[in-house]
Homo-oligomer: A and B are copies of this chain.
Amino acid sequence: MKFCMKCGKTVSRKVPAGDNRERFICESCSEIHYQNPKIVVGCVPERNGNILLCRRAIEPRRGFWTVPAGFMELGETVAEGAARETREEACAEVEMGRLFASVDVIEAGQVHLFFAATLLGSYGVGEETLETVLFPKEEIPWAEIAFLSGRFALEKFLEDDGHNNGVHLHRVRRGE
């Protein structure tokens, strides 16, 4: 960040009055520009013991498998965001269940929230997806899972085995 998005003048790093950490502050209009973590929302769509995964058509991790997930947007709830991502990536409708995993990805400035979900009706291949497959649990392609957060969600989903054990908290570190 180099310029103020409000007035277009240059910003610099300073600790605002009453604050305790450096922020980007406009040298002209004094606007403080806060930067905060972003939320990624996703779900594990399940039907009759099978789990729906998408093979990614885009980078990062093109060709690897993932549960439907993506950045939460303004104007939606966390559950609506997870449903929207499932619609976009897997062309599938789901009934959203419990929120069961929260993964901190500090180096990326992200928090990933995962729901258990029940797959309804058909599924297909969204624009960011190469193929969508309903995997029997014992055939999940563990060696080709795209992201550590999604892997954690899948593992805990299977461990929970349909039970509500609350939220599993986890931190993913770069390079793991």
Q: How large, as a class, is the contact surface on chain A? A: 35 or more
CB atoms of A18 and B76 under 8 A apart? no
Q: Does A30 contact B (CB under 8 A)?
A: no
Q: Is A156 an interface residue (CB 8 A)?
A: no
Q: Which residues of B contact A20 (CB under 8 A)?
A: 88
A80 to chain B, nearest CB (A): 8
Closest to A107 in B: B75
A75 touches B106 (CB 8 A): yes
When distances are taken between beta carbons in the complex, the residues of chain B under 8 Å from A102 are 78, 99, 113
B166–A166 contact, CB under 8 A?
yes
User: Is A136 engaged at the interface, CB distance under 8 Å to the other chain?
Assistant: no
Q: Which residue of B lies closest to A106 (CB)?
A: B75
Q: A39-B111, A166-B166 are contacts. A1–B8 as well, Cβ < 8 Å?
A: no
* B-side contacts of A71, CB under 8 Å: 34, 36
Nearest-neighbor residue (CB-CB) of A166 within chain B: B164
Contact of A77 among B4, B21, B104 (CB under 8 A): B104
Q: Is A16 an interface residue (CB 8 A)?
A: no
> Quick check: is A43 within 8 A (CB to CB) of the other chain?
no
A→B interface (CB under 8 Å): 1-11, 18, 20-21, 33-39, 71-79, 88, 98-100, 102, 104, 106, 109, 111, 113, 127, 164-167, 169, 171
6 contacts between A and B (CB under 8 A): A2-B6, A3-B4, A8-B9, A78-B104, A79-B169, A98-B167
